[in-house]
Amino acid sequence: MANTMNAASLFLINTLFDLYLFVLVLRILLVYSGVNYFDPITQFVVKLTDFIVKPLRRLLPTVRGFELASIILVLVLQMIKFLLVSLLSMGMPGILGLLILAIGDSIKIVLLTFFYAILLQAILSWAQPYSPVTRTLYQVTSPIMRPFQRLIPLINGIDISPIPALIVLQLLIILLVNPIMSLGLGIAFG
């Protein structure tokens, strides 16, 4: 029974933290992309995050489009998540290992957010090309998509650039994030 409760606790911690971290990362990307503040998606994200980000913004400004308050908050929440998970499963971790794990998982959430935004944008371009969400997705994904769209021409009017973009994002998770996470685990529990 204790093992089941432990597994349920780990699941809840990971799920709840990851959902909120996704919303915070989305906020970072929306601010960086300059998406309209009154856009419904932006308003949804702002309402979910403003209570915790707004006080931090007084101390940490936005620099070159990056909302430092949200970035620091993501790292702190990641560290808390890994601390709780570690305490439930492996014992007390080292602080440097927690920081490295937090950085690695934060990069992973950013890459996965781009991945799913590009995937959703591609699906909407076929199913509902004039959806109000399409413009927001375009603004968020354009830093990733522009280089691929320059290199890969339209084929019979069809944009296939999302396919290599999605492949590269998955490769970045394998080649960049996974080694960072392994390093963090090694240092945290070495």
Residue 8, number of CB atoms within 10 A of its CB: 10
Rounded CA gap, 187 and 125, in Å? 44
Q: Kindly state the tokens that stand for 3.
A: 């093992």
Q: Are the beta carbons of 107 and 184 closer than 8 angstroms? A: no
pLDDT for position 184: 96
Residue 173, number of CB atoms within 10 A of its CB: 17
CB neighbour burial string for 10-44, b if at least 16 within 10 angstroms, e if fewer: eeebeeebbebbbbbbbbbbbbbbebeeebebbee
Q: Which of 102, 119, 95 is nearest to 189 (CA)?
A: 95
* 132 to 43, 115, 163: CA distances (angstroms): 14, 19, 23
pLDDT for position 126: 84
pLDDT for position 143: 92
Q: Kindly state the tokens that stand for 147.
A: 């280089």
Q: Are the beta carbons of 159 and 142 closer than 8 angstroms? A: no
> Strand, coil or helix: what is 12?
helix
pLDDT for position 74: 97
pLDDT for position 158: 85
pLDDT for position 132: 82
pLDDT for position 167: 97
pLDDT for position 91: 86
Kindly give the parts of the chain with pLDDT less than 70: none
Rounded CA gap, 36 and 151, in Å? 29
pLDDT for position 25: 97
CA 146 remoteness from chain centre? 20
